[in-house]
């Protein structure tokens, strides 16, 4: 009754023209994303770090990120894609990461081609990329040690984030695909989608493309599909919305002195019971 059965990310990708993925940092936010209709959940290192009030800068350990991703997956009927930053170190670390995440039931991971320890892509300051061949070696390692054919490795290039240009991004992603990556993620912090479209114009479709339209939010899903994108990740909008709502709610309670005015606008305790599957649990003790 309480067991979860979920498809692999690979099988979801095979049955959708565009897979829509929502960022989460705990099981409750993952369940709400599933409830809204998303086909997968992104266990976001940015959100997981922020939930601890820490920067997204390789401060938390692999074990802490693994625990967050596994807890999300346990609550869902859809797959989790784990944001694994740089793979937590070198090739040995990548091999250990794949073993642990795959063993925890995670069917897809994403690694980026920056140096460890990384800094969040949108933070001020420069970004340093790992050598292309060295990152390709990480991808090869991940694919060599995976236990099942279903396991899915996304190679994320930060070439545009680092200001290296579209040509460099394409060159890197071709090398990563040749190394065995199941998909590539092209990341940009530009205010328009033009850089990403330029990448897509040069891409030869040897593996699917993933995008994260955080700074160019007006890219409608129909246009994303038409551009040939296979996966779109809304990586942090949930946490950003929750932050605004929590801040306003706490301020309103403090200023009003009671919660009367809020009660009609916030979820009921019964709603939370339903998300917890309280009735199913209670049957076990009957």
Mind telling me the catalytic residues? 56
Q: What is the 3-state composition of the chain as percent helix, strand, coil, each rounded to the nearest 5?
A: 45, 15, 40
In which residue are the tokens 């897509």 written? 200
What is the signed CA dihedral for 155, 160, 166, 168, rounded to 10 degrees? -60
In which residue are the tokens 């320890």 written? 117
Is there a contact between 259 and 265 (Cβ–Cβ < 8 Å)?
no
User: What residues contact residue 184 under an 8 Å CB cut-off, 6+ apart?
Assistant: 154, 155, 156, 157, 173, 176, 177, 207, 208, 209, 210
What is the signed CA dihedral for 4, 76, 232, 12, rounded to 10 degrees? 10
In which residue are the tokens 């009003």 written? 256
Which residue(s) pair with 186 in the sheet?
157, 211
- What is the number of alpha carbons within 13 Å of residue 166 lying toward its C-beta? 12
* Local structure of residue 50 (DSSP, 8 states): H
* Local structure of residue 2 (DSSP, 8 states): -
């Amino acid at each position: 009754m309480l067991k979860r059965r979920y498809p692999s990310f690979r099988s979801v990708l095979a049955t959708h023209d565009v897979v829509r993925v929502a960022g989460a940092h705990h099981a409750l936010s993952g369940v709400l994303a599933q409830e809204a209709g998303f086909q997968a959940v992104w266990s976001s290192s940015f959100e997981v770090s922020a939930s601890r009030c820490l920067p997204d800068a390789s401060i938390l350990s692999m074990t802490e990120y693994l625990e967050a991703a596994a807890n999300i997956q346990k609550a869902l009927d859809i797959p989790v894609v784990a944001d694994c930053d740089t793979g937590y170190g070198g090739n040995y670390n990548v091999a250990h990461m794949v073993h642990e995440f795959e063993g925890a039931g995670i069917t897809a991971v994403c690694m980026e081609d920056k140096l460890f320890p990384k800094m969040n892509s949108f933070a001020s300051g420069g970004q340093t990329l790992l050598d292309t061949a060295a990152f390709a070696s990480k991808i090869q390692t991940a694919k060599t040690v995976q236990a099942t054919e279903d396991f899915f490795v996304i190679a994320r290039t930060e070439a545009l984030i680092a200001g290296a240009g579209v040509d460099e991004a394409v060159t890197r992603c071709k090398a990563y695909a040749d190394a065995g990556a199941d998909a590539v993620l092209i990341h940009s912090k530009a205010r328009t989608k033009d850089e990403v479209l330029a990448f897509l114009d040069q891409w030869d479709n040897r593996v699917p493309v993933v995008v994260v339209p955080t700074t160019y939010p007006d890219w409608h899903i129909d246009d994303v599909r038409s551009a040939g994108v296979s996966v779109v990740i809304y990586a942090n909008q949930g946490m950003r919305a929750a932050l605004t709502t929590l801040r306003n709610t706490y301020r309103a309670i403090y200023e009003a002195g009671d919660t009367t005015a809020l009660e009609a606008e916030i979820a009921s305790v019964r709603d939370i019971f339903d998300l917890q599957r309280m009735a199913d649990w209670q049957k076990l003790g009957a």
